[in-house]
Chain A
Amino acid sequence: MTETQRSGGIEVEGLVREFKNGPRAVDGIDLEVGQGEIYGFLGPNGAGKSTTVLMLTTLLPPTAGSARVGGFDVVSEGPQVRSTIGAALQEAALDPLLTGREHMRLQTAMHGLGKEERAARGSELLERVGLAHAADRKVGGYSGGMKRRLDLALALAHRPRILFLDEPTTGLDIQSRTALWEEVSRLAAEDGVTVFLTTQYLEEADALANRVGIIDHGHLVAEGTPAELKAEIGRPTVEAVPRTAEDRERMAAVLERFGERAGSSPRGVAVRLDGGESQLAEVVRALDAEQIAIEHLQLHAPSLDDVFLAKTGRSLEGADEAEEDEAETAAPA
């Protein structure tokens, strides 16, 4: 048993999930998450994020490969895995007819907490996620952010060592999103909870995750800290749009003197600057010397989207595919 396994982390080797008459939703993923780490699993819709979470939370058997969560095998030791983890899956699965406090009572009881501890734990968690004032209101009247916070509280009911959050902030306003980020950061930093977080928001992965895995078409295409991944791309990108479309090719020829092309837009040209951002002035002078009028010029510091672009040839922001919803795909036939 490795240190990761003993200490309440996650270890995945060659994990595969194939669906009937469908592509491999997850195609041989290897990853390792240490205790207390926040691991951001980043990718567009349909990339395989939720399918991976379903397998790691024992709700979907893998087709091949192995995974140990908290030291337990997800296939042969499902009950032990479930007692170790908490999960808030893609949709906040709540009963609109029950109150927040009733949800907590049910969840704590199902996890086997004693009668007195149930009430105390429920109140403590509702307080922690800022729902004490709404504890006795039916969940049907909660806002999206409140539902997500209750979902998080429910996932924490039995003090799990590992927490799975599947797109926890999708659809939330920035205020609710920030509040959730703060709570997740606190859980990892103060309570040592390992967090496996899927997201399609670059800023979420950047702000929260100690390490990020980028998944595309079921493959893990990059992994590292946000800083490492950006450093791998290394250089900033300059994007320029000529005032007249006829100048686009001439502009591309000039810019390519300063570095390799980094994707393109219908009207503009982007290159990764070999000499870094100090070359920006030279770029402007060169375009001026060629008498190419510039409509727009922008310097981009490397971002996780650049990493995604470099690894997949596509921008994450536009990579959502019209694929079947993963949760539907994951339902048994």
Chain B
Amino acid sequence: MSGLRTQVGQLAHRSVLRTLRQPAQIVPAIVFPLFLLAVNSGGLKDATNLPGFPTDSYLTFILAVPFIQGALFSVMNSGTDLARDIETGFLNRLALTPLRGAALLSGLLAGAFVLGVVQAVVYLSVGLIAGAELAAGAGGALVLIVLSVTITVAFGTIGLFAALRFGSGEAVQGLFPVFFVFLFLSAMALPLDLLTTDWFHTIASVNPVTYLLEAIRSLLIEGWNLDDLALGFGIAFAIGTIGMLAASAALKTRLVRT
């Protein structure tokens, strides 16, 4: 067990170092969602006039979106890092040690974890400074950060799976626009109840991203809505579990060592 802990610790240390030493991974993951936040909160603020809109601050409503956009960057970052290890043979080097698959995957997600914490703190701070509300108070801020990091790590497992399945950084990066489509086909810009176009409402209502957004929004707009929070955490854990299982299976195929 101590061997496993050491392996996870060392691989996590490497993953964090890699993340911190690549400003090109960190800066876009923080700046791009904030840019979209500025554009959306300014351009769509009249949406708050719609009957049934849950808040009179569109900034507060749309502040949930950067947390999900930031998490999507973690798919790309964790996936491309692992794909590079496959392409350069670094994974083979690790495979020649008594490496355990669980250690490799957990360690690699450490970078996503650190990036997730930084992103969540920055998004929330910028949002609050810009005038957004946080109905759940200081405790809610902490839960929001935990939820955001959970979503980031969960999405990161999908990046790991893609890297192990396809073995190429380009393939992982190709997933990025696909995931953005998921975001746009959710209750990103309006609450689910106000999406009146039938097909869009149907898609958004089965899109798990909608419920991740609603969990974050519940803390910002309502305070403590345990149902929404439970659903958000549950979906994040489900995505993380499925992603981890898929990545573990792909790792077994990728690591054909006897």
Q: A residues within 8 Å of B by Cβ?
A: 57-61, 74-76, 78-79, 81-83, 85-87, 89-91, 93-95, 97-98, 102, 105-107, 109-112, 138, 154, 327, 331-332
Contacts and interface: CB of A to CB of B under 8 A. Distances in A.
A95 B256 contact: no
B21 A106 contact: no
B18 A109 contact: no
B90 interface: yes
Given A98-B18, A111-B97, 13 more contacts: A59-B96, A61-B256, A74-B258, A75-B258, A78-B257, A85-B96, A102-B14, A102-B17, A106-B10, A106-B14, A110-B97, A327-B89, A332-B254
Nearest to A88: B93
Nearest to B89: A93
Contacts of B38: none
Contacts of B85: 95
Contacts of A75: 258
A82 B98 CA distance: 8
B3 A112 contact: yes
A109 B14 contact: no
B50 to A, nearest CB: 48
B253 interface: yes
B89 A89 contact: yes
Contact of B97 (A82, A138, A331): A82
A157 B224 CA distance: 53
A98 B6 contact: no
A97 B13 CA distance: 12
Given A82-B98, A97-B22, A332-B254, A110 B90 contact: no
Given A61-B256, A97-B17, A110 B10 contact: yes
28 contacts: A59-B256, A59-B257, A60-B256, A76-B258, A78-B258, A81-B258, A82-B97, A82-B98, A86-B96, A87-B96, A89-B89, A90-B89, A93-B93, A94-B88, A95-B14, A95-B18, A97-B21, A98-B14, A106-B11, A106-B13, A109-B6, A110-B94, A110-B98, A110-B99, A111-B98, A138-B21, A332-B254, A332-B256
Interface of B: 3, 6-7, 9-11, 13-14, 17-18, 21-22, 85, 88-90, 92-99, 167, 253-254, 256-258
A151 to B, nearest CB: 9
Contact of B257 (A76, A82, A98, A154): A82
Nearest to B90: A93
A57 B14 CA distance: 25
Nearest to B167: A331
Contact of B17 (A57, A74, A98): A98
Nearest to B84: A95
Given A58-B257, A89-B89, A105 B10 contact: yes
A326 to B, nearest CB: 13
A93 B87 CA distance: 9
B88 A93 contact: yes
A97 B18 contact: yes
Nearest to B18: A97
Contacts of A102: 14, 17
A85 B92 CA distance: 14
A89 B92 contact: yes
B96 A91 contact: no
Given A93-B92, A106-B14, A154-B93, A332 B253 contact: yes
Contacts of B258: 58, 61, 74-76, 78, 81
Contacts of B17: 97-98, 102
Contacts of A57: 96
Given A75-B258, A102-B17, A91 B10 contact: no
A86 B9 CA distance: 23
B125 to A, nearest CB: 28
B94 to A, nearest CB: 7
Nearest to A75: B258
Nearest to A90: B89
A327 B92 CA distance: 11
Contacts of A105: 10
Nearest to A74: B258
Contacts of A78: 257-258
A107 B97 CA distance: 8
Contacts of A95: 14, 18, 85, 88, 90
Contacts of B98: 79, 82-83, 110-112
Given A112-B6, A331-B167, A59 B14 contact: no
A241 B185 CA distance: 77
B44 to A, nearest CB: 40
Contacts of B95: 59
A107 B257 CA distance: 18
A97 B257 CA distance: 26
B186 to A, nearest CB: 35
Nearest to B14: A106
Counting from the closest, the 9 A-B pairs by CB-CB distance are A93-B89, A78-B258, A110-B97, A109-B10, A93-B90, A58-B258, A93-B93, A97-B21, A58-B257
Contacts of B14: 95, 98, 102, 106
A146 B220 CA distance: 53
B88 A91 contact: yes
A59 B18 CA distance: 26
